[in-house]
Amino acid sequence: MKDSFELMISEEEIFDKIGEVASAIDRDYEGKSLTVISVLTGAFIFTADLVRRLNVPVDVIDTMQVSSYVGMNSTGELKIRKDLSTDIKGKDVLIVEDIIDTGRTLKLLRDELWSREPRSVRICTAFDKPSRRVVDITPDYNCFTIPDKFIVGYGLDYDGKYRQFKDVRIVRTDNE
Q: Is 69 in the site for ligand IMP (CB under 6 A)?
A: yes
Nearer to ligand IMP by Cβ, of 28 and 167: the residue is 167
Q: Is 151 in the site for ligand IMP (CB under 6 A)?
A: yes
Indicate which single residue of 35, 38, 47, 105 sits in contact with ligand IMP (rule: CB under 6 A).
105
Exactly one of 49, 92, 98, 101 is catalytic; name it. Answer: 101
Q: Taking Cα atoms as reference points, which of 69, 68, 62 lies closest to residue 93?
A: 62
For the chain, the first-to-last Cα distance in angstroms comes to 6
Give the rounded distance of the alpha carbon of 82 from its chain centre: 16
**Active site annotation includes 101:** yes
The answer for residues whose C-beta is within 8 angstroms of residue 57's C-beta and 6 or more apart is: 33, 34
Least distance CB 60 / ligand IMP (angstroms): 21
Q: Beta strands 141-145 and 120-128: pairing type?
A: parallel
**Residues interacting with ligand IMP, by CB under 6 A?**
42, 68-69, 74, 98-106, 150-152, 156
Instruction: Tell me which residues are annotated as active site.
Output: 101
